[in-house]
Structure 1
């Protein structure tokens, strides 16, 4: 059983009691945290396979990016000035690219996305897209933890419905057969009522129940769902979802910008997570999500970057800062959300969304050894006696401070170098792929 001992670090546990060790240690055995505490009680280093001096470093739980579309790194820079939070914007800027995108373009794009997330502190992510046969091997190779949702756009087409449902079940069977427990399979309706019909929604609900999994959706980006359900059923989208049994499954709901306040208590009673993506919201010119109100109502909140056409990066430290500031701006008062609450959303909130609250999201004995190491000797940390670590992590530093990343006791990043991925090769292949993609789009437009 491999063992690792990390010594002399500031350790921010983010668990019950908010333990912080100014000079602490973490002992890892196999894939779990075996011990954690003050250096005064550190075990004998000679009994460990690997011993790392973390002087000048901070160790904290790995971040959870709760909403991504990893293949879309291929489209970065190709949707500027367009809101991708509307169906019209998506169809205008992205659909023409997706229609000519080929499966062999996906691996490099996903590898770039995983590399960027690892390099900036994310150890777990929730993805929703197509081409899952190509995505799964890359994520598996990366060593990251992920909830992969097969993305579905059906638009009420019966033929598309049958095809997508068959592919969804095949995907869930495939991911369920993997030896690794780091990858989960989820159902990924792009948006209830908007591009997934009620008939499709019912089928998706049945499949989620069959495979004991959840659904990763977009909701209330502009209020389209509520307009449609008010017209058809005379109710809000959430009320209709409850009537249809859609809330019986765990739901990861990206954006949640316009959910009526009257629906918050209903969502708080279910396994529903609202994923705040502040940068995407701001770039799209949308409203700021009522994160503080939903949080106070008891709804689980997580943080996501969304796709990199809408952001355009995977740095969850920057996303935490953006959400903290945007919430204060929306609420017209400073510190509307405490830095500690923001950190919880980026760690424990994401873990809860994925059903992994007992496994990740905090540094505690018995939990998986999913952790990141940050350099505290760079800019933004000082003065060390007075700059509270919670505040520093949210408002002062960014993902470039991350030096090391571990998932289940395995290093994915050591001394700022990837150990599982070849970033340079992936970037080269991605460049070739995007040039081919643009040529295919031009050919299609001229046909």
Structure 2
């Protein structure tokens, strides 16, 4: 197990992590940038790795690596495909991002039913989508971005099914007047999707097919119908990836990791930026990353100069959260025989009979599969109100060899 120590370690190479690493590296500090993907950029920028080469030359990129444990304060245990690594840090910036929220409904485990962002990521990686019929369903601006991407790469978006109401979207749209850049982006989405149906107060109630997806059953205002499609891309919002912050002892709120004005968490020397502190979009992630990078590098005056921009972006994030809040009716999508935990084949009926996560794990193994509750956890929290339990190492499934080091903590 190789050992390295850096002034600043940034976990996550998405927009927030890249912004933080850039500011930290500019200060002259030694910086390591970790990500579990082979290329930096996160889901939004990963398709153009060349643009990050100048930055990567100023720091130590460690890609294809996952933090699996915290052996002691100031140290992280990483697992890579070609071995293990332990690194030390003076300050730590957590930019672990967010993942898609899945809501179980009949047929959601069929092949070709996937997350909206997941389908987009697969298409960027070479999944052939040209000529394929796609239905995009769920909630939030990501649906429009994915539909535009699909059309731009030769797919045939059939419709966008948005669960939010016309009234909620109207209020949100009027609020965009104060955010010209967001308004322009929305208009561009609309222009790119001319001819594609956009239905509000609409959601999928079943995915249908024999062996693979053939159609999706949709509901809107009392009407139920089947829409033929090759892919169903669902996105019911995002969930912050707070497992590593929780393991480090960072205080959490209802929306993510709690931070102060300088993006520092409740743990001294540990900062957090981007979607892990609350879902807010690209612009907020970038400015939070810059604040965290400057603060961690000992440049509080530079960090403070960005407070105003962050306040503006947070106001937009708050309006986004309000407009696209999930409606209670979506809890009716999950039937008793619907699988909630895909990893362990656990039905909703078995889960809802339990009193909480501990009871469910003891009697059903829900949340104990390879995803460690990352898929079913968000769904169960929405359906039953169960909050995530405390996090124990490993943060991700890991090889026994990776956990057998002399300083690696035992679960």
Give the TM-score normalised by the residue count of structure 2: 0.25
